[in-house]
Structure 1
Amino acid sequence: MKSGDLLLTLSDAELVGLVLDGDSAAFAQLVRRYEAPVRAVGLNILGNTDADAADDAAQEAFIKAYEKLARLRSPAAFGPWLLRIVARCALDATRRMSRAEKMENFACIPDPNNDGQLDSTKKELLAAVLKLPKAQRQVVMLRYFGDNNVRQVADICGRSVGTVTKQLSRAHERLRKMLKGYEL
């Protein structure tokens, strides 16, 4: 077992190697290193107000990562691999949620201008986003509600940048058609 200070200096690949050799403190260090980004991905997908569901998705992701760590082909890619796992866990949770629960979560996103018109517009936009096909909805949520760049969305989803860009383009087109007549 390595001392706590030494674990802080090790790369993800080195920590993965130690975990595979039975060092539980190394996995605890990976959890500490990634708990904030993992939780953020969960919050971004589940809605910024559903902290309990995001925590559940994060916990499930860490458990799955630990159980499947030996299958990780490139230990240096632990971070993106873990974020893909939490994204799948969070998406599974959204499938279990009813449409009303999804709207409720996103309707509570703070309105920076605090005017009724923006709040109404925001609700219409969110309703339209929830009607998008699954893959498009996922990239839109991660990109715009999660404040991720296209490369980060691609890494989280396990897709190429080109695929994510095309999915965003198609989602924009669908949203334009759905929201035609609305002044956004």
Structure 2
Amino acid sequence: MVNKERAYEEFLVASARLNDAEAMAALVQLRGPRLLVHATRLLGNRDEAQDAVQDAWIEIFRALRQLRSDAAFAAWATRIVTRRCARIIAGNQRTRAIARELAPLTETAATENSDDVQLVQEAIASLPPQQAATVALFYLEDMSLAEVAVALDVPVGTVKSRLSLARERLKAHLKGAFDDQ
């Protein structure tokens, strides 16, 4: 995320903590789509993901006063969504699945070379769910290793190993795809 956007998000978090309804709405509009994409990756079902994110927003706003650093909001909110998704998965007694259809992750990605973007999206979709979520948060959401660890509620070492394994799988997947072109 660009520094200006992070600063704006921190401002919205501080304002939302003071029960500013407009700031809360703006925060949902700013962070909500990214949380929905994350939940969809974890659940593999957009309807369940929307429910998880909606419930997570309630939890986020109730617990916002407990957040120690406004700068940590993105990772903290993502962790809440991750835990909501884990509860849904456990409740349904099914394994994690990555969404088959990934919506465009950013507006700019949709306008860039769409064939290459589609190949990368397919490669990410082919990863195990934990690796796909880790890759998406680190590379697409531009979170640090520590932020990804908080968001996924795993140690930093686990994030590093997931990224390493994912890079190898992506390299193999994309090498074959680009060799065919």
Give yes or no for TM over 0.5: yes
Structure 1 residues 22 and 96: alpha-carbon distance in aligned structure 2, compared to 1, 3 A threshold = same
Which amino acid is 1:43 matched to? T
Instruction: Tell me the distance in 2 between the aligned counterparts of 1:170 and 1:19.
Output: 38
Equivalent position amino acid for 1:65 in 2: I
* Cα 1:97–1:164 shift into 2, 3 Å: same
Q: Say if 1:36 and 1:25 are closer, same or farther in 2 by CA, change over 3 A.
A: same
In the alignment, structure 1 residue 76 sits paired with structure 2 residue 89: no
Checking the alignment, whether the CA contact within 8 Å between 2:67 and 2:73 is kept in structure 1 is yes
Q: Which of these residues, 17, 26, 48, is aligned with residue 14 of structure 2?
A: 17
In structure 2, do the counterparts of structure 1 residues 65 and 9 end up closer, same or farther at CA, with 3 Å as the change threshold? closer
Alpha-carbon deviations, 1:72-112, whole Å to 9, x = none?
0001211111111111111111111233xx58x66x826xx
Q: Which runs of 5+ in 2 are unaligned?
A: 102-125, 167-181
Superposition TM-score, scaled by structure 2 size: 0.60
Segments of 5+ residues of structure 1 without an aligned counterpart are 1-7, 111-124, 130-137, 172-184
2: CA distance, partners of 1:94 / 1:83: 16
Matched residues in 2 for 1:40 and 1:61: separation?
Answer: 14
CA contact (8 A) 1:42 1:54 kept: yes
C-alpha distance 67-165 of structure 1, shift in aligned 2 (>3 A): same
Question: Given the superposition, is the C-alpha separation of residues 148 and 88 from structure 1 closer, same or farther in structure 2, using an over 3 Å criterion?
Answer: same
Give the structure-1-normalised TM-score. Answer: 0.59
Larger radius of gyration: 1
Query: Among the aligned pairs, what percent are the same residue?
Result: 29
3-state SS, counterpart of residue 53 of structure 1? helix
Alignment correspondent of 2:131: 140
- Alignment pair present for 1:60 and 2:55: yes
Aligned pairs, how many?
135
Give the CA RMSD over aligned residues.
3.5
User: Do 1:139 and 1:164's aligned partners in 2 also have CA atoms closer than 8 Å?
Assistant: no
